[in-house]
Chains A and B, each alone.
Chain A
């Protein structure tokens, strides 16, 4: 989706092109505020800056709702007045009717406008939250992604934002409705203070119940959301791992795995309903108790002659006015707790700080010559064993070095350290004598091109995929990169050539084709330092030879690190670094190592295989 936007409308789904709202380009400008960083604040105070950034529409919505409500409350009185007018045969029926029509119109128009603003604000807040989460995730470090499953993140960006959004739409409306209670209470006080106090004697109980209800609902709301995320995670895995599930015919096991998770969601929902059932009827019916009390005490006062019947009628009318907001109050508390749980789950993500960031005073790497130094590098992954113990190596500018080692010896890790996908635990990695941690990330990664061992492609067109690192590249540049990666020929053979949209994750292409596009993607950026992390493993020798032919020309002035198992790939390098147990065991030309290092021969299986 993302990149297809940049190439015009060709990949925009049908329903979006033909929608009544105009093109896909939205006027949405992105969030104008972020959540408060202070983790001690309550959830709504943390989210307040975002709402405050929409204060104009927010307060317009609230203000107009209130006006609309006032107009609405006028209508019953006007009707009563008119009916009494007819009774007394006072003239002006037409005038009365006209006045009611006008008030109705005013109530309607203000109501429509205010609701529009309510929705406008709520949906903007939602869009802000979505953008913030995406932005934040984009900058988070790889160590975060090593720990967290994407299903979890997607669920937070989905179910949880939804529940916050529902609350932010619903709450302002209810609050305005409740403000009518203040007016009603003022009227009641003016009629009879004692009776008003009796009517409101239920308030402490309401408050108490409200608190209890909140306390009961919060944990179950959290559990519900967490379990929804579990379901999402299973679905996510089954979509991405569909080939494995199908290959092993394990559909049934996966269905039951999901059903178990769904069963736990169902239980949480039932439990949630139980709690709501326990508390919300009281919130909704306590006002009735107030009404009954007014009826009794008011009646008594009428009999005593302290109060007129009209006052009872009026009281009744005002208390009835309170009924609807109180009925919604229970729902408000419930949604509030769910929103709170969800908001905190969203904050959990937003509170993760990226571990790898620009240092204060970081500067741009410029005119990189390409001297690489690894100074006693030590590194380990979280939850993993130590990968590099004391890796020490020097690569001259323009040199092509192959790193060879057993499976899992830490070769790929070295590639990841150069680009600061991870930071060293000890020691340093330097480019032209500059510690990579002193350079800005953007300039570092612009100068170091990595072809990763997993050739991930996006479901956008092939040319967009190749130009991923340089979106303004011309089609000639794209084609040149594709030629160098030996991909041009097969791309041309595709029905739509470079405009062919790759299916999800590029699975419509073969492994070797994907690797070639990934190589072209990096070559197009033309970085002074190039790292090929097992980038040709699925490419047959013939094609590989072609790629290296092209690379040889390209690599002349460029520092290149090649991580590979194949001798054909290693042959590209002028020097080989042999890696084992986290450090350099030997370094030299292929022939030298063959002659001197038994481990090297063993790894390349170049021994005479006498054991066979």
Chain B
């Protein structure tokens, strides 16, 4: 695949796409270059990914997205990480114990011993060093775990994006989709990295210390559990609900912020041309403000939860002091036992504080999991059947059979359309804008499915075949020529693997882009991207055409693909089409009737139905709708194609 080749290639510094494409803002600032290069020299050459895409998700991909499921793919690291976390937190407990021991057995009157003190100190040191060592392992293991889990998640969400149908992308704002793939996934990083394993460790510590508390004094321990646990539990339950609401809100609002930003970036020309800057800035402040408010709300919930649990701990201690004190005064308890109990009580509260902190991270991550789960559970509206077969190489017979369609069910755009296009035949769809011409093209390559009726290719219902085998045989050139950031070369070789340089050069000649390529300083290696103005609208359309030519589809669909071309370029394209269409079926959607005149047959579409069908000759002779359109075309100065054909 030409796309990956550039960056995965010969070892050296690989900063990523933008660096490769030569665009600014993708790389490393010069002052960091030396260190960054040194660092990246240690990066192994990653194997190019070889994920195969299937429209139908397998059983694993169909599973509900949950944190445990994401983690259990890496049982070794999860177990290893948890063991290491537990060990490090145990080692941390050793210090105070050694100190106590040294005081009791080395310093107190009658037990003085420098040897004991020395041994304890050395042990303490040893524990500290081994603690550091274990911690290092732990950080590395959990870091690896987090990076793999995030990697899996990114791919899983992206794969699902690719499965989703076009309607999803028109209904959902681009910024929202963007935030799912970026901020929601990144949101989970912290949780997986530090959260989960220490969550387990703190929980475990609490259980151990509770056991110790009970072994010290059952009555007081029971009181502790009775006083603190229900309160803490109830409070946590409140927090769970309140923070979930807040975090979900904040996820949605950050998505709105990104959607607004992204739309403004893409529409910057319209914004500027209409002097809308100030107003848009004000609007964006509201969107940002709404996000801020959601954040402040969750901040408030967090601010209440943390210190309050701490307060519950202090209250509990005070009450236990009262109860324990009474017991001592009533001689039910020795003072020594009370002192010992309080010593451990402090250790009981410490992990609670840490648990509270982790819980906050967990809640934040959970909100992202919920949002991501929603995306993953959205079924594509155009999907493959489970028993979908590969569409064999087709001859190119296209049949519309009683096809009706509406973008919304109550508003049909096409009504009961019947049409058959023979193999190798080129058919022009003409008619007023919004009549449904493009819609028919979109149905043919299954961007949408008909509301009723069916579409057949070589007699096979297109819903029974795999999307890939269908679309790889249909080449659609839309009106807006989207270019990916990259060189002209990579953009041209997008449609098919294994396109040679000779083929590219040939395609450039065929569509008449030779002049342009020669004018550009770097020829076909010139970097283009979606909004760049290096190319004019017409040149972009020519590139899109060349891209489709190179894909060598069996059926070609040109959807207003030449609208921005000057007539001369269009003439070139027409000639190219003559060559390209040899042995291929084609649907040409055009307002310029000169193009239509060259087709084998013309289909006049109006208000969602076929009004007339016939060869250009027949239709002109018939004096119907097409003849009238053609007359208007000529009168308005259109190039008269009948003179030469």
Contact = CB atoms under 8 A, between A and B. Distances in A.
Nearest to B254: A158
Interface stretch (B68-76, B207-215, B267-275, B455-463): B267-275
A242 B569 contact: no
Interface string B278-317: 0111011111111111111111101110111011001101
Which 6 pairs between the two chains have the least Cβ-Cβ distance? A273-B143, A119-B299, A26-B289, A567-B637, A512-B433, A28-B289
Interface in A217-268: 218-220, 222-223, 226-267
Interface stretch (A180-188, A297-305, A365-373, A393-401): A297-305
Contact of B542 (A255, A313, A407, A507): A407
A223 B530 contact: no
A107 B307 contact: yes
Interface stretch (B397-405, B416-424, B502-510, B518-526): B518-526
A291 B472 contact: no
Contacts of A256: 1, 4, 48-51
A137 interface: yes
A197 interface: no
B169 A504 contact: yes
Interface string B20-36: 00011111110010011
B501 interface: no
A478 B16 CA distance: 47
Given A135-B281, A137-B268, A571-B637, 10 more contacts: A113-B303, A119-B298, A130-B257, A223-B36, A236-B174, A257-B3, A300-B117, A405-B566, A456-B269, A504-B172
Interface string B163-186: 100100111111101110111001
B1 A255 contact: no
Contacts of B299: 115-116, 118-120, 122-123
B478 A312 contact: no
Contact of B407 (A108, A453, A468, A508): A508
B99 A1 contact: no
Nearest to A250: B494
Contacts of A609: 571, 644
23 contacts: A87-B335, A115-B302, A123-B296, A148-B24, A150-B265, A240-B174, A240-B482, A257-B1, A259-B49, A267-B147, A291-B95, A299-B114, A299-B121, A384-B521, A408-B515, A421-B272, A445-B272, A508-B407, A534-B564, A538-B433, A538-B560, A540-B432, A612-B644
Contacts of A364: none
Nearest to B273: A450
Contacts of B147: 265-267, 269-270, 273
A272 B146 CA distance: 12
Interface in A129-168: 130-131, 134-135, 137-139, 142, 145-150, 152-159, 162
Interface string A597-612: 0000011111011001
A104 interface: yes
A302 B133 CA distance: 32
Contacts of B328: 86
B204 interface: no
Interface stretch (A43-51, A68-76, A430-438, A554-562): A68-76
B489 interface: no
B568 interface: yes
A83 interface: yes
A86 to B, nearest CB: 5
B359 interface: no
Interface in A403-451: 404-408, 411-412, 416, 419, 421, 442, 445-446, 449-450
A242 B168 CA distance: 11
A348 interface: yes
A100 B314 contact: yes
Interface in B387-415: 407-408, 410-411
B23 A248 contact: no
B529 interface: yes
A49 to B, nearest CB: 18
B314 A104 contact: yes
B338 A223 contact: no
A239 B178 contact: yes
A295 B121 contact: yes
B342 interface: yes
A598 B133 CA distance: 83
Interface-centre pick from B273, B438, B476, B534 (highest chain A CB count, 10 A): B273
A86 B155 contact: no
A40 interface: no
A235 B178 contact: yes
Contacts of B14: 264
Contacts of B470: 249
A126 to B, nearest CB: 7
Contact of A76 (B265, B346, B637): B346
Contacts of A250: 494-495
Contacts of B321: 79, 82-83, 93, 96-97, 100
A43 to B, nearest CB: 12
Nearest to B118: A296
Contact of A145 (B245, B265, B643): B265
Interface string B479-502: 110101100000000111100000
Interface-centre pick from A24, A264, A299 (highest chain B CB count, 10 A): A299
A285 interface: yes
A124 interface: yes
A223 B537 contact: no
A258 B155 contact: yes
A277 B140 contact: yes
B149 to A, nearest CB: 10
A289 interface: yes
Nearest to B128: A288
B223 interface: no
Contacts of B297: 20-21
A237 B485 contact: yes
B544 to A, nearest CB: 8
A3 B132 contact: no
B288 A2 contact: no
Given A159-B186, A264-B14, A511-B433, A5 B287 contact: yes
Nearest to B34: A219
A519 interface: no
Given A150-B265, A241-B482, A289-B128, A504 B171 contact: yes
A284 interface: yes
A25 interface: yes
B80 interface: no
Contacts of A278: 136
A79 B317 contact: yes
Given A222-B32, A239-B177, A511-B560, A145 B102 contact: no
A21 B262 contact: no
A93 B329 contact: yes
A157 B171 contact: no
Nearest to B309: A108
A119 B303 contact: yes
Contacts of B516: 408
A32 B124 CA distance: 52
A149 B292 contact: no
Contacts of B266: 150, 240, 456, 505
A134 B281 contact: yes
Contacts of B433: 490, 510-513, 516, 538-540, 543
Given A256-B48, A292-B128, A150 B262 contact: yes
B621 interface: no
B322 A239 contact: no
A108 B307 contact: yes
Nearest to B474: A247
A272 B189 CA distance: 13
A181 B265 CA distance: 48
Nearest to B439: A510
A28 B107 contact: no
A119 B302 contact: yes
B139 to A, nearest CB: 4
Given A123-B296, A262-B154, A293-B121, A453 B537 contact: yes
